[in-house]
Structure formats: structure tokens, C-alpha cells
Amino acid sequence: MEAIQKKVCGMGEESINSEFSNIFVKRILEYFQDDNKLRDVALSLIDNLKPITADKITGIIDFLNNNHHAHIEATDIFNTNKDIDRIHLAKTILASEDIPKLYSKQFAKRIEGEETSSEVVFMKACSIYVNNLNNNISSNLRVDDDSGLGKDYIVHNVLDIFPKDKVITRKSTSPKLLAYKNSLDYSPEWDWNGKILYLEDITSNVYNSPVFKVFSSASKDVWSTEILINQKPVEKEHMGRPAIIVTTAEVDGNSETLRRYPSLHIDDSKAQTKKIIERSGAIAQCGKVKEIYGSPYTEALDNLERVDVKVPYGKKITKHLSAEHSIMRTNAHMIQDLIKISTAIHQTNRKKDDEGYYLANEKDYEIGKRNYERLMGNDKNIPTSKKQERIINEVKRLNKSPKFSVPELMKSIKGISKPSVYDNLNKLIEIGLVTDLGDAEELQEGTLNARHSNYYKLSSINSLVLPSYNEL
């Protein structure tokens, strides 16, 4: 609890580099030039907390305010040449060796746990900085989980760190609304490039609509959708394409939508629930409702450009990818694109070739690899919904025989109705993770009386483990 209290109250560990410390020390000396006592106290705190970090500033200022009645604001410390300082810090952030991890520590100010989920959402949103994705499906994400688990809270608070003009949020929409590029009073020259479209609690009629299908997979600079207006088909033209993030609790996707929208499942464990409960107490005790992100983090993202990227070791990666399942036609692109996204957000310290392409390095492979693995709900690298993942895990847990029936499964699985189990089994059969064995062989021998249950088994598909960079 004490650790959570410290983190919530602004004493978290978030290193940027020594340049941040130098700026802070300079501002302290300037601010307290007429108060030797407070200056010495502040410098002593800084010395004891080195390396000074963005999060520690709040802790130092809170201590001075609470114990010395200093009445200091963080903005006061940086009021000299503040624009220069902000830009400098933004550049410092972009020079980090692992930007996703650095931003994850910002997200931890508001989101308890879920470092994995936060980073995946951040990476998918950052697809807007890549011009040449192999497959635009790589910029899609579905956060798929039960109501009340905080999926929308996570997405909202990750996207809140991006510049406001890059994020478009829609809580309720329709296929027709999506088809209108001017539905939000955009100018005629407005386009979707560089935009993040967040659709909260998407409904089935939108998710499974032909308009959304086209919207989700468009790869051209100019593309169109067709909708009915007054019972007449009308073609609407669109420019560019956004990164699309959707959340849903109830909508079951078919194999096609799961391919277009790999699912991210958040942590629903008791341990995570306990952390969230404890954090609520810490927030109440500190009086803080919502932590403020450091403005340089938003400034840093605003300074990034849309760039073209090459993966010099791209062919080496493909040698390790299995062609056993057709989903790898999509996943092979996704792996490469996540590497490209990492390269794009680290563009300030990546090399360029003579053609102007930024070149992915070893670190980009490791960042892309860890986020790809987080997106795969199983070791087969086949996208599944949360319900489908629960069914598979429950079958593995039972592990009584190679085959199982729905009545056997229903005895232990919770929170999924029998019709939904059958529906998702059919979808698992469709994507190749489950095999339908037909009527039980034992029925022919009369050993199961008159129980006419079909039997199923998990399909034999080899696991895919991506190698380390050194193993390429």
C-alpha cells in the first residue's frame, strides 16, 4: 500500500536523463536566490533523490509546500524560458532508448498495473507516424473484455497523452456517420492521415457493417464507401486512413473481423483487482482525482513526423515464420509493422539511408516483438476473442482426454451461456483452433446411451515463438 501511495502522490521512478536534473537544479537556484534556507533544503532533497526525474519534482515541491509553507507551483519553477525548456525536454524524451516504456511510466500515474495493455494501445496509436505500413490492418486494435474491467478507462488515458487534434473519439456512431468524412464539420481538404479514431463500446451493427469493413482495411490514399440515402446508393470519398481503436464487451467478431482487429485482453485477475482497490484508497487520501501528464510528453509526440521505414533484417524474420496457418499472411505484416512503428517513434536517433528511409535497428525488433507477442491470445499466433480464449483455456484445464463435449465444458465454465459456447466453438473451428469430431464414436457402440453430443478437440497447430534478435 505504501508503494502505491508514493506512486499516486508523485514519487514514482521515471528517469529521463541528467539534462532534466540540470534544468531543474538551475531553476531551483533561480527561484530561491533570495531564500537561502529554502534553497538549501531544495538542493538537499534533489541531491538525495538523484537522478532527479519528472515524477520526483512533484514530491519535492509537495514537501517544500507542506513543511516550509513555500506555496510553490511546478510551473513557477520552469517559468524562465519555459518554452525553451519544454522543447528541450520533449527532445530529451524522444532521445530515449525505449520510448514505449518511458510513456508507460506516465500512464502509471493514472492506470494501476496494465503496463502491457497500456503499451500495446500506445504502440497501435503510434502507427499514425508510419507512412509505409505493410498492411493497414496493423493500425487496428480491439480491446475486448467484460463490462466494468476498465478497458475504456485504459484507452482514454493512453490517448489523452496525444495532441488533442490527433484523437477523434466517438461513443456512439453508425455506419452512415463513418461514411461521411464531413460529418464532424471537417474542411473539404481534411484527411484521416495522422488521426487516431477511437470508437468506444462499438455496437454489432457498426462492427459487422460493410462500411466498417472497408474503413478498417483501406490502404489507398483515396478510397470510398457506399451507403444508402433515401433508398439510393451514394458513394462517399475519403482521404487517408486513421489508426482505429475499438472497445467492446458484447460484440462477437467472426474470423474476418478478428483478423482485421487483433484483440487485446486486459488483466481480470484478483491480484489486479486488489491493486485497483488499493489505488482508490491512495487517491482518496492524496485528494488527487486525475494525475496530469507532463506537457513535454505531448509536445514530444507532436514533434514526430510521418516517416517511411525499412527493416533491414525483414527477410531474416520471415525465415522463422510458419506457413502452417493462413493467418500468418496477416501476422507476418503485423510483426514487421510493429517494428516500423518503434522505428518511427525513435526517429530522432535512427539512421536514414540515401533514399530517406529510417532504418530499424536491434532495439526496434525487441520492442516490436514484445508487443506482437502481447497481442496474440495464444501460442498459435491466431487472433481470438476473450470468450474464445476462455473456452480454450478451460479445455486445457480439464485435460481429461483429447476430446470434449459442450455438456462437459458447461459444468465448469462460468459466465458464458450454452448458445454462446456453441457459437464460439464454431468460430474456433472456422479459424482452425478446434476440430469438430462429429457424433461421438462411443454412440455407435452404445456406451453413452442416447446422449447425442458432438465431440471436439483442440487442433494440432505448432506454436510460434519469435527468436531473439541475436538468433535471427
Alpha-carbon dihedral 156, 200, 4, 366, rounded to 10 degrees? -80
DSSP 138: G
**Cell 482505429 belongs to which residue?**
244
The DSSP-derived string for 355-423 is: TS-EE--HHHHHHHHHHHHHH-SSTT-----HHHHHHHHHHHHH-SSSEEEHHHHHTT--S--HHHHHH
CATH 3.30.460.80 fits 112-279, yes or no: no
d(CA 404, CA 399): 9
Domain ranges for the chain: 2-96, 112-279, 307-375, 386-458
* DSSP β-bridge partners for residue 168: 197
> In a structure prediction context, what are the per-residue pLDDT tens digits for the chain, which is 472 residues long?
555 555 555 544 444 455 566 667 777 777 777 788 888 888 888 777 776 665 677 677 778 777 777 777 666 665 555 555 667 778 888 988 899 998 998 898 888 778 888 999 999 999 999 999 988 788 899 887 666 667 888 999 999 999 999 999 988 777 767 766 544 445 666 788 899 999 988 888 788 787 788 777 777 677 677 666 677 777 777 778 889 999 887 666 666 666 778 888 876 667 776 776 777 776 677 666 666 777 789 989 999 999 999 999 999 998 888 777 777 777 888 899 999 999 999 999 999 999 999 999 999 999 999 999 888 766 667 777 778 888 888 888 877 667 888 888 888 887 788 888 888 898 888 878 888 887 545 444 444 444 445 889 888 776 777 888 998 8
* Distance between CA atoms of residues 92 and 17, nearest Å: 8
- DSSP β-bridge partners for residue 404: 456
3-state SS track over 329-365: HHHHHHHHHHHHHHHHHCHHHCCECCCCCEECCHHHH
Q: How big is the CA angle at 435 (ends 433 and 441), to the nearest 5 degrees?
A: 155
| Residues 179 and 193: beta-carbon distance below 8 Å | no
Distance CA 32, CA 334 (A): 53
What's domain 386-458's architecture?
Answer: Orthogonal Bundle (1.10)
Read off the C-alpha cell for 328: 500468418
User: Nine-digit cell at 398?
Assistant: 480439464
Locate 49 and state its grid cell: 533523490
Q: What's the pTM value of the predicted model, to 2 decimals? A: 0.74
